[in-house]
């Protein structure tokens, strides 16, 4: 039972354009959501997070939107840069303690085309 | 470099065997997390330790066990290995649980 779903295994975006990565979840107990980025042969690195009490969080080029009623979140990257090419994982936690019992999606491979 | 060190990087072993994966967290981090990533799967949370005590448990098999030592390094023990245990095993650490977690590069386990 995949509680966190990333339905797009891959996405290609032109450099300079907006990249939108989507994530859906089924467990209404999730309270905290995170996005991680992973390069080959490296561990995931934290990108941005959002608490369930918010609907938007922004950090530079990265913005995460949360729609609790739809159980959907998205990561927007504007403008997209070649270094953004990586696998992006969405993750959710049932607690406000960010990293506890994280459930990850299967990832979306983002390719930025120069 | 995240500051989290996992050894070994690669491990090939036979079915039925037992292996130990090691994780050294970032200096000062009290929480250690273990994750398993099988082919084309997301990371599955296995277990979390906080300052030597088990804090949270995920989908960890009974054949698997872990511990965190007084120096805060952690070991994940996998026994009676099966082909399906082949995966990338990641360790992560954070100061308390609600700050950014840093992941190691992972240990790739291949069971043949």
What are the backbone angles phi and psi of residue B105, rounded to the nearest 5°? Answer: -80, -10
- How many contacts does A have with B, using Cβ atoms within 8 A? 72
Q: What is the nearest CA distance from A6 to chain B, expressed in angstroms?
A: 10
CB contact under 8 A, A44 and B99: no
Disruptive mutation site among B24, B91, B101, B107 for chain A (greatest number of A CBs within 10 Å) = B101
**Nearest residue in A to B3, CA atom:** A43
Q: What is the nearest CA distance from A112 to chain B, expressed in angstroms?
A: 21
β-strand B87-94 against B107-111: which pairing, if any? antiparallel
Q: To the nearest whole number, what is the mean pLDDT of chain A?
A: 93
At CB < 8 A and 24+ separation, what contacts does A57-62 make?
Answer: A62/A35
Question: A1 or B100, which is more confident?
Answer: B100
CB contact under 8 A, B98 and A99: yes
Among the listed residues A50, A85, A80, the one whose alpha carbon sits nearest the alpha carbon of residue A68: A50
CB contact under 8 A, A99 and B33: yes
Question: B26 or B97, which is more confident?
Answer: B26
CA gap A59, A66 in Å, rounded: 15
Q: What is the pLDDT of residue B98?
A: 66
CB contact under 8 A, A43 and B55: no
Q: What is the nearest CA distance from A44 to chain B, expressed in angstroms?
A: 6
Among the listed residues B49, A103, B88, the one whose alpha carbon sits nearest the alpha carbon of residue B78: B88
Which tens digits make up the pLDDT trace of B76-92?
Answer: 999 999 999 999 999 99
* Count of C-beta atoms within a 10 Å radius of residue B38: 13
Which tens digits make up the pLDDT trace of B22-81?
Answer: 999 999 899 999 999 988 778 899 999 999 999 989 989 999 999 999 999 999 999 999
Q: Residue A96 pLDDT > 80, yes or no?
A: no
Question: B95 or A90, which is more confident?
Answer: A90
């Amino acid at each position: 039972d995949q509680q966190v779903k990333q339905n797009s295994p891959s996405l290609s975006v032109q450099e300079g354009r907006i990249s939108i990565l989507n994530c859906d979840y089924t467990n209404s107990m999730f309270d905290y959501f995170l996005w991680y980025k992973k390069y080959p042969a490296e561990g995931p690195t934290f990108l941005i997070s959002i608490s369930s009490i918010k609907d938007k969080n922004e950090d530079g080029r990265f913005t995460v939107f949360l729609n609790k009623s739809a159980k959907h979140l998205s990561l927007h990257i504007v403008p997209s840069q070649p270094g953004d090419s990586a696998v992006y994982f969405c993750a959710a936690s049932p607690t406000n303690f960010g990293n506890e019992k994280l459930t990850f999606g299967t990832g979306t491979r983002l390719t930025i085309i120069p | 470099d995240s500051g989290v060190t996992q050894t070994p990087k690669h491990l090939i072993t036979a079915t039925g065997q037992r292996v130990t994966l090691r994780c050294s967290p970032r200096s000062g981090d009290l929480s250690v997390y273990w994750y398993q990533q099988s082919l084309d799967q997301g990371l599955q949370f296995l277990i979390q330790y906080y300052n030597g005590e088990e804090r949270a448990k995920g989908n960890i098999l009974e054949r698997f066990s872990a511990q965190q030592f007084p120096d805060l390094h952690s070991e994940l023990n996998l026994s009676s290995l099966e082909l399906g245990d082949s995966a990338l095993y990641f360790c992560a650490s954070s100061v308390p649980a609600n700050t950014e977690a840093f992941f190691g590069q992972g240990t790739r386990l291949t069971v043949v």
